[in-house]
Structures are given as structure tokens and as C-alpha cells.
């Protein structure tokens, strides 16, 4: 069939003019191999590849060989085992499979079950990357089937409530090449022998554990020598489930120090964790000499001394994000040694010469922190580090004086202010004097009005302006203030 019009498609941007090549061909089968391969390689969307494979037998055969990834969701017809078997046979070289049942209801058909995982493991011989999300019918039996996937290097389990620690252990025993493992909201994973087994293998490079109630901060030490290999760790505790007595135990913690080798850790993200002085995660913070990204969100017990010890060794830190508990969140934080203050900001300013992104947020706007970071500490950090992106959320100390200090921030490109009520139009007009700023985001700021944005409209300095839920700013006021403008106003947060 003639298909010159079919290839007048924007996605095909080749150096060789495609139309001239096709005009000389009578049929699709006469196209040269190099051109056919270029066409297929430049199609990244599944719908586009499906349409192409149906256009002729040659593309259908080629797509069978070259299709390496597949995503399956609700409404798979026929029933999942049969459909999955058909797909595996059609695409024998699949290496990445993603199965997602978010929003599933019984009327949408059957979910993939243990039998489906058996078919996947026995028919998908090149599988090395698998994601199972909201697969509520899968049990330990199905997970054991995956242990035969010897090439599996990446596995993500998101909300698989029937899986237990025994299933994860069988997976660790069988998949000895697993480098990336994500375990998210798997509520029945209680035993942690699998962590100890992964520790003996020393192959894990990326570990993510979120809201698994049976896995605590102290269990991470079971990774043992595998910490040496680990490059990324994300650990999040379910804040709604944690027993509040654990915070009282923290104040009286007198356990021996634990030596955790983590020299290769590049990214560390901890959420709702308890950091006991001198052990566990506190020991990790003090030994990450190659760390580049640090995110601490509502981590109780992190002290100035922990941050100081970290930044003195981690000379390559590029991003720091801190969400700090307010003074009234926990009585334990009345202990000055367990609270972050300007002392840690001073240490960051002194040692982090490569810091590009700095984000600070306080957890409770009704009870702001009065004894944590001051304006002086924040300004000192900004002036000494090459900050490219700055985000301040519920930082009540930041005001127009702080905005004036940003006029000397030569590298600042992105500024985000959320719930910064002390910033007024007087500080906002100074944005036009920021040397490199291109993106400004304002959210829930009571002190800024349309008047403060008029100066920005005159300079046309900003590439992007985002204004959300600021009661004194109107849609008319943001017009012309930047090349691209996003405006939204929902004032329900005020009531």
C-alpha cells in the first residue's frame, strides 16, 4: 500500500528527508532497513507503536522483536492470565513490565493473580525490571514464582497487602542480581530476615521502603556490609501508625554505637523517622562522605551535631531539603540538643560549596518554630553557597529584609515562597533586581498584592510566574508579569 501521507508525522525528525525516500518506493516492504529501524526507534508512545505495527506485516514483525517494555492496567481483556500469556508470546524480548491496578473495581474485570505471575516468570525470559502496583490478589505464592527470574535487577511492589516477609525472603534468595528494590505500603511485611539476606548478597544499590508497618529504622542495620554497595536509600515510616511512646524512648536512649559503612551513598531520603543519638540512622548521617542529595522530612532527633558531622565529610552535597517539626509538635523537641538551629545552617554554609538546592519547611503553620532557623542563618547560607533553587515554606522569620539579601544571590534561578506572611509588596518589587531569577512561585502569601507584581510586568524578567491561593492577588494582576503565568485561587485554607 502507498503510505507517503502516513509518514508526514511530526515525530519523525530525521536528517534524511523522509518524503523523498518514500516517493521512490512503491510499497512498504521496499523501504531500506536503516530507515525502518529509525522509524521504530523514534516512536516512544505505546499508542504510536501499536498503530504502526498494525499498518503492515513488516512493522508488525519488527515491533515484536523490538518491543522491550509493556504496561498493563485495569480492563485487560481477555482475563489477565490468558491476555498476559498472549502478550508475552507476541513480544518475546520484553525486559520491562509494569502492572498497575490503581482505581480498580470488581466491575472492571479480574486482576492479575499468582497464576499470572507464574506465566510471566516462565514466558518472559528477558525480564529485568518489574513493577506491581495495587495488585491486591498477589500472595507469597506469586512472589515465589518471581524467584525464577534470574535476570531480574529491579522490582517495585506498591500496595500488595497479601505479601509477607516470607514472600520477600524467597524473592531475595532467588533473585541474586536484584539491584533496585522498592517496597511501598506492603502492610503485612513484618519479618525482616530478607533484609539480612540482602545484606549478605551485597548487590542492592537502591532501596526504598515506605509505610511498611513491620519494618522500623532499627531493622536497617540488618543490611550489614551491603551498606557499602548502597547508593540510594529512601525510608518512610507511617506517621499515623507509629506509637507515640517511641519519642519518649528516644530521650532515654543509651544503646551502643553502631558502625554502618555507607561511603557510596549518594541519595538519602528519610520521612517520619526517629534518629536515636549516636546509633542507627544517626550513624548513617555521619558517614556519608559521597552524599549528593539529602531529604529529611519530620525526622525526630536530628541534631545540629548530626548535620555538622555530615557536611564536614560530604563535600559533594548539591541538594538539601528539610521539613522540620514545629516547637509544639512534640515536647521532646524542647530539648535544645535535638533541634536544628542556625548552628547547622552555619556548618552547611561553611562546608557545602556545591550546594545548588535548599528547601526548608516547618510542619505546623499555626505554631511556627520560634527557636529554629533565624533570618540571619538563612541569609548567611544563601550568601555563601551557590544556591540555584530556594524554597521556603512556613518560614515566619523570612521577610522583606530577606528579599533584599537575595539581590546579591548571583546563582538564584528559582524562588518558591509558601506561607511566608512577612513578605510584602516592598520585598516583591525587589525581584526585578535578582541577577539570575527566572522562576517565581508564590503560594498562600497574605502580604503580596497586585501592586507588587506590576514592577515585574515592566521588566519582563521572569520566564515563569506561579501564583496560588494568595488572597490579594487577582488574575488580572498576574497578566504580563512573566512569559508564562499560572494562576489559581482557592481560599479555603484560610477558614
Cell of 339: 533541634
Backbone angle region of 419, left / alpha / beta, with phi > 0 → left and psi within -120 to 50 → alpha: left
User: Which residue matches cell numbers 512472589?
Assistant: 143
The verdict on whether omega for the bond into residue 78 sits within 30 degrees of 0, i.e. cis, is: yes
pLDDT tens digits for 5-16? 444 444 444 444
Distance CA(144)–CA(172), nearest Å, equals 10
pTM for this predicted structure: 0.84
Burial class (CB in 10 A: 0-12, 13-18, 19+), 30: exposed
pLDDT at 66: 66
pLDDT at 16: 42
Going by DSSP bridges, is the β-strand pair 154-158/319-324 parallel, antiparallel, or unpaired? unpaired
Helix axes 114-123, 80-90, angle to 10 degrees: 10
CB atoms under 10 Å from CB of 493, counted, come to 11
Alpha carbon 62 to chain centroid, angstroms: 35
Contact between 324 and 361 under an 8 Å Cβ cutoff? The reply is yes
Of the candidates 458, 459, 425, which has an alpha carbon nearest to the alpha carbon of residue 442?
A: 425
140: CB partners within 8 A, 6+ apart: 162, 163, 164, 166, 167, 170
Of the candidates 368, 378, 299, which has an alpha carbon nearest to the alpha carbon of residue 339?
A: 299
Contact between 360 and 322 under an 8 Å Cβ cutoff? The reply is yes
278: CB partners within 8 A, 6+ apart: 255, 257
CB atoms under 10 Å from CB of 331, counted, come to 11
Burial class (CB in 10 A: 0-12, 13-18, 19+), 280: buried
pLDDT at 65: 63
> Which regions in the chain score pLDDT beneath 50?
1-26, 243-256, 328, 333
pLDDT tens digits for 83-130? 888 888 888 888 999 999 988 887 777 888 999 999 999 999 899 999
Contact between 267 and 291 under an 8 Å Cβ cutoff? The reply is yes
Amino acid at each position: 500500500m502507498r503510505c507517503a501521507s502516513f509518514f508526514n508525522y511530526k515525530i519523525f525528525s530525521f536528517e534524511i528527508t523522509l518524503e523523498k525516500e518514500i516517493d521512490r518506493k512503491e510499497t512498504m516492504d521496499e523501504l531500506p532497513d536503516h530507515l525502518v529501524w529509525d522509524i521504530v526507534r523514534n516512536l516512544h508512545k505505546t499508542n504510536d507503536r501499536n498503530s504502526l505495527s498494525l499498518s503492515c506485516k513488516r512493522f508488525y514483525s519488527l515491533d515484536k522483536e523490538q518491543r522491550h517494555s509493556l504496561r498493563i492496567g485495569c480492563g485487560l481483556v481477555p482475563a489477565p492470565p490468558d491476555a498476559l500469556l498472549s502478550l508475552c508470546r507476541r513480544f518475546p524480548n520484553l525486559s520491562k513490565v509494569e502492572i498497575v491496578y490503581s482505581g480498580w473495581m470488581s466491575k472492571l474485570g479480574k486482576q492479575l493473580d499468582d497464576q499470572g505471575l507464574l506465566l510471566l516468570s516462565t514466558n518472559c525470559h528477558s525480564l529485568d525490571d518489574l513493577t506491581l502496583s495495587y495488585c491486591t490478589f498477589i500472595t507469597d505464592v506469586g512472589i515465589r514464582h518471581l524467584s525464577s527470574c534470574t535476570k531480574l535487577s529491579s522490582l517495585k511492589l506498591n500496595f500488595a497487602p497479601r505479601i509477607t516477609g516470607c514472600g520477600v525472603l524467597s524473592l531475595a534468595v532467588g533473585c541474586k542480581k536484584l539491584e533496585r528494590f522498592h517496597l511501598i505500603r506492603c502492610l503485612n511485611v513484618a519479618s525482616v530476615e530478607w533484609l539480612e539476606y540482602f545484606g549478605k548478597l551485597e548487590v542492592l544499590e537502591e532501596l526504598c521502603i515506605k509505610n511498611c508497618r513491620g519494618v522500623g529504622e532499627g531493622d536497617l542495620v540488618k543490611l550489614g556490609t551491603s551498606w557499602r554497595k548502597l547508593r540510594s536509600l529512601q525510608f518512610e515510616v507511617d506517621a499515623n501508625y507509629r506509637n507515640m511512646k517511641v519519642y519518649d524512648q528516644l530521650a532515654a536512649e543509651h544503646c551502643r554505637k553502631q558502625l554502618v559503612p555507607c561511603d557510596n551513598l549518594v541519595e538519602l531520603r528519610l520521612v517520619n523517622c526517629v534518629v536515636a543519638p549516636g546509633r542507627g540512622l544517626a550513624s548513617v548521617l555521619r558517614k556519608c562522605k559521597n552524599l549528593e542529595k539529602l531529604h529529611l522530612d519530620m525526622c525526630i532527633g536530628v541534631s545540629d551535631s548530626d548535620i555538622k558531622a555530615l557536611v564536614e565529610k560530604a563535600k559533594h552535597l548539591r541538594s538539601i531539603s528539610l521539613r522540620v517539626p514545629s516547637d509544639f509538635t512534640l515536647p521532646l523537641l524542647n530539648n535544645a540538643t535535638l533541634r536544628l538551629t542556625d548552628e547547622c545552617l552555619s556548618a552547611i554554609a561553611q562546608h557545602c560549596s556545591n550546594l545548588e538546592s535548599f528547601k526548608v519547611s516547618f510542619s505546623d503553620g499555626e505554631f511556627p518554630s520560634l527557636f529554629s532557623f533565624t533570618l540571619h542563618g538563612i541569609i548567611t547560607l544563601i550568601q555563601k553557597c551557590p544556591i540555584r533553587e530556594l524554597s521556603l515554606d512556613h518560614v515566619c522569620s523570612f521577610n522583606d529584609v530577606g528579599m533584599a539579601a537575595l539581590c546579591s544571590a548571583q546563582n538564584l534561578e528559582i524562588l518558591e515562597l509558601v506561607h511566608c506572611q512577612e513578605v510584602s509588596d516592598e520585598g516583591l518589587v525587589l525581584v526585578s533586581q535578582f541577577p539570575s531569577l527566572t522562576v517565581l512561585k508564590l503560594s498562600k502569601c497574605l502580604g503580596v498584592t497586585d501592586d507588587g507584581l506590576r514592577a515585574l510586568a515592566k521588566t519582563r524578567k521572569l520566564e515563569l510566574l506561579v501564583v496560588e491561593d494568595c488572597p490579594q492577588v487577582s488574575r488580572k494582576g498576574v497578566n504580563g508579569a512573566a512569559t508564562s503565568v499560572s494562576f489559581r485561587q482557592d481560599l479555603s485554607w484560610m477558614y
